[in-house]
Amino acid sequence: MTTLLHRVLHAGPDFPFAVLRRHGGDTVDLYTGDIVDVDALADIPLGTPGSSVQPEVLTLVPYRQVRERGFAAMDDGAPLRCLVVTERETVSLDELLERLPQDAVPLVGGGFDVSDDDYADIVRRVIEEEIGRGEGANFVIRREFTATTEVPAERAVLAWLHALLLGETGAYWTFAVHTPGISMAGATPERHVAVNRDPDSGDRTVTMNPISGTFRHPRSGATGEDFRAFLGDVKETEELFMVVDEEMKMMSRVCASGGRILGPYVKQMSRLTHTEYLLAGTSDLDVREVLRLTMFAPTVTGSPMQNACSVIARHERNARGYYSGVLALFTPLGDGEYELDAPILIRTAYIDDAGLVRVPAGATLVRHSDPTSEVAETAAKAAGVLTALGVMAPAELGPTVDLAAEPGVEAALRARNERLAPFWLQPQHPAPVGSLSGRTALIVDAEDEFTAMLAHQLRHFGMTVVVEHWSNVHDPRVDVDLLVAGPGPGDPLDLTEPRVRRLHELVSARLAAGAPLLAVCLSHQVLAIQLGLPIERLDSPRQGLQLDLDLFGEQSLIGFYNTFTARAGTDAAPTSGVELATDPQSGDVFAMRGRGFASVQGHLESVLSRDGLRTLGSLAAHALAGVAAPAPAAASVSSRS
């Protein structure tokens, strides 16, 4: 037995340690060191460039840290805790399994803090009050299994680790961490973000790993037929696409090259199988800044991210602690640079010094969500950890095949990409040609980070682009060629909301000045109001929906995330000289253009917009060209086929 393994196995409450098995390897890393609590991610004690001291650091990042991005979170005081490594050893998995405690950890009491019926009611309220009122596309609401134990935390997490190593498959990290007051053991399937240096090019590659869509293995055992049916489920497919969109927003913020989508792939575990993508790009940012700009995964929060945090604060009963935060391992490269590996803290059990045990689990709620099914999903996600805790008996499931290798599965996965934007599936290179090259744009961020993807696509055309928060844009006559009024959550008629009121002011003044304007989603609705069109709430929100449209003579497959819509009809005609692209049945206005402006309800920057790049270029060019062009003689209408 190694020295450090012996000390970990006989640890007292004041001896900090971490035991990590990564990527299903046959070895396990053990760490101990000094505990340092800091206030902000930038304070994580990494060595400075040129310093001879470059410690490895394992950081426990609580959910409340999302306030660094200005987002809402209940404050439970969970510390941003760093284990500054002073000693590390590697042992074989077999030796660790032989040495870890194998006796059960007795629990007292036990049950979910939110009942099945109450959780189903929360699901209904979120769909009606949040998604149904335009607050976002999807939200993750958690509940927790809680119990107590008299077993010391440092021993409990090692016993749970033993059970997880034997009972769970497919985990990205399987781990136990103990520090005074905070201990945890888990088997997380999902890497949130990683930064690695390419040994050939020297580039620092950022990778994210959105996982969504949950296939619960039947008791009889999972088959290829079952899984192919799951892959064809609209709700599960849209759920994955929406989180890919949200993480691509983050990739566009941290990577100069945007991000490329790889996949989809299959993540098969003992009781569940998920679908996933990998996103990759390059960045020169400090690894701590990469982590800050990507707090936190939409798979455990929702989208748009800022509003998702507000929805969580409204509907969850208490603070999250470390659930949906990350474990972040910063590994020095020896030249002042660091690599980062940061899995999401899900499928994890927590225990404090008083013996309170918590196992949080959440479900992604979308417009298609069935309350009963979402209740079952939270139970299924907690099941692997609850089995390791001895709360549930090991599932007696029939034999399960390698689902990814089953006939037809690869083709079904590949077919998903036929609906996605080629721009995000390929390496992205600037194409500074045409009328947009050399022009300038200011994008008004209305609290939806789709603006980062918009900026990346406009830069692709050769434009110089700046993104500014709506509260910082006061003068619509700002000295740029094109003002892009961006998307955001909420009701475009609610002028009591300062953000919406500012959009109305900017759009109105820009129109009056005759200065080029492009309006997207919420701002498209604001523009429609300014032009005299009514706004109505859709009977069924179009969150993560694709529509095949005729936009001014060009057929375009576009992704939508809207709850409200502008409508054209006989009772409400827009200002003369405005072209509309509408639905001939409902009158929904999908796009508008006139002298010096253009707008679109959909998200041309979304991965769901297969033809979005072309349409974005066309609308932006129209807005810029319209300054000098004569006004059309009359309005014309094109509509979706």
Q: Which residues are catalytically annotated?
A: 521, 603, 605
CB 20 within 8 A of CB 83: no
- Residue in the block written with tokens 């319209």: 626
Residue 428's nearest CA partner among 397, 447, 389, 455 is 455
Helices 153-167 and 371-388: angle between axes, nearest 10 degrees: 110
Burial 97-136 (b: 16+ CB within 10 A, else e): eebbbeeebebeeeebebeeeebbebbebbbeebbbbbbb
Beta bridge partners of 549: 556
Cis peptide before 152 (omega within 30 of 0): no
CA 456 to chain centre: 18
- Report the distance separating Cα 529 and Cα 506, nearest Å: 13
Going by their DSSP bridges, the two strands 108-112 and 348-351 should be labelled as: unpaired
Cis peptide before 55 (omega within 30 of 0): no
**CA end-to-end span of the chain:** 71
- Report the distance separating Cα 458 and Cα 615, nearest Å: 12
Going by their DSSP bridges, the two strands 517-520 and 482-485 should be labelled as: parallel
DSSP string, 449-464: THHHHHHHHHHHTT-E
Helix (H, G, I), strand (E, B) or coil at 200: coil
DSSP string, 577-625: T-EEEE-TTT-BEEEEEETTEEEESSBTTSTT-TTHHHHHHHHHHHHHH
| CA-to-CA dists, residue 313 to 375, 377, 460, angstroms | 20, 21, 37
Helix (H, G, I), strand (E, B) or coil at 140: strand
- Report the distance separating Cα 176 and Cα 185, nearest Å: 4
CB 192 within 8 A of CB 297: yes
CB 563 within 8 A of CB 537: yes
- Report the distance separating Cα 187 and Cα 195, nearest Å: 21
CA 566 to chain centre: 28
What residues contact 582, with CB distance under 8 A and at least 6 apart? 568, 588, 589, 590, 637, 638, 639, 640
- Report the distance separating Cα 179 and Cα 19, nearest Å: 12
